[in-house]
Amino acid sequence: MTTTTSNRYALAIDLGGTKVEAALVDPNGAIFPPSRFRAPTGRASSSDQLAESVRTVIRKSTAALPDDAELLGAGIGSAGPISLSRGEVSPLNLPAWRDFGLRAVVEEELPGLSVSLRGDGNCIALAEHWIGAAQGVKFFMGMVVSTGVGGGLILDDRLIDGPTGNGGHFGHVEVGGEDTVCGCGGTGCVEAVASGPKTVEWAQAHGWTGTTGEELAAHYADGNEIAVQAVRRSARAVGHAIASATALVDLELVAIGGGFSHVSADYIALVAEAITDRAAFPFITKVRVVASALSHDGPLIGAAALVHHPERLSEAARA
């Protein structure tokens, strides 16, 4: 039987701090549900355990490839930092892996196929640009506000991953007037100010008695004063950093996803407001901020875009 365009699949792999997930994704960006598998990762895992989880999801997903279908290659979206040229990953929340050769592990499982690696923030941006909120937008940033804050930049329809593969690391841009210590070793990073856990920590330090992002969301909705201040502080940090990014690269659109971006119904609006109090230049205030259109599937879909749409990757990174 011959293959048609629609049954040429990419194997997408998403490596995160708590799980690794793999699935087959078709040329329209649709995940093939029977091929979707996950396995645990986590801070306490050894290097061998992590590698075994990766191999397990690859084997299960590829076993679900229909008989008449073709596997084109694999894309990996990994928690960062990464090294693009060496195919290595050093995910902040997986201490067993520092400069670990993840691409080689995947290549061993898929002889003869090409394997492409990018940071998960970059994959989210690619996914929004391909089938999400940023279709047809040339100057775009995709981002997540969750346990961490991540992002990816698309400028003139190309992903800006940079020579090391870590371009668009929006979570580690500095926010003015803040000195909270960040997991990266810096201070005042967007992630250290605006992430879910850091926002909860800030609220607790100011007398709030809750413990989770969900409680913070409930107390925000009830008008609890500290919860309101905490959520606004997170949105302000994100908005100010978006204003700075827009000053630098003239963004048209930013799409925000991630669990903590749902902490309040008006979170996206608060981010947009923060941009206009930070900046007056029309070329900055014109940037539109919207919610992600991809639910939780962005990283997998973006990993598949590495295979289905290599023309959206920068020339420098492909060389």
Site residues, Zn ion (CB under 5 A): 172, 182, 184, 186, 189
Q: Nearer Cβ to Zn ion, position 77 or 80?
A: 80
Q: Nearer Cβ to Zn ion, position 75 or 165?
A: 165
Q: Nearer Cβ to Zn ion, position 118 or 172?
A: 172
Q: Nearer Cβ to Zn ion, position 21 or 174?
A: 174
CB of 171 to Zn ion, least distance (A): 6
Q: Nearer Cβ to Zn ion, position 90 or 314?
A: 90
CB of 61 to Zn ion, least distance (A): 33
Q: Tell me which residue of 158, 118, 139 sits closest to 304, measured CA to CA.
A: 118
Q: Nearer Cβ to Zn ion, position 31 or 245?
A: 245
Q: Nearer Cβ to Zn ion, position 131 or 193?
A: 193
- The per-residue DSSP string of the chain comes to ----GGGEEEEEEEE-SSEEEEEEE-TTS-B-GGG-EEEE--TT--HHHHHHHHHHHHHHHHHTS-TT-EEEEEEEEESS-EETTTTEE--TT-TT-SSB-HHHHHHHHSTTSEEEEEEHHHHHHHHHHHHSTTTT-SSEEEEEESSSEEEEEEETTEE--TTTS-TT-GGGSBPTT---B-TTS-BSBHHHHHSHHHHHHHHHHTT----SHHHHHHHHHTT-HHHHHHHHHHHHHHHHHHHHHHHHH--SEEEEESGGGGSSTTHHHHHHHHHHHH---HHHHT-EEEE-SSTT-HHHHHHHHHHH-GGGB-HHHH-
CB of 20 to Zn ion, least distance (A): 24
Q: Nearer Cβ to Zn ion, position 81 or 132?
A: 81
Q: Are 299 and 120 in contact (CB under 8 A)?
A: yes
Respond yes or no on whether the N-terminal peptide bond of residue 66 is cis (omega within 30° of 0): no
CB of 185 to Zn ion, least distance (A): 7
CB of 180 to Zn ion, least distance (A): 10
Question: Who contacts 201 (Cβ-Cβ below 8 Å, separation ≥6)?
Answer: none
CB of 240 to Zn ion, least distance (A): 15
CB of 106 to Zn ion, least distance (A): 28
Q: Tell me which residue of 118, 102, 183 sits closest to 149, measured CA to CA.
A: 183
Q: Nearer Cβ to Zn ion, position 35 or 78?
A: 78
CB of 183 to Zn ion, least distance (A): 6
CB of 166 to Zn ion, least distance (A): 12
Half-sphere exposure of 269 (CA within 13 A, CB side): 3
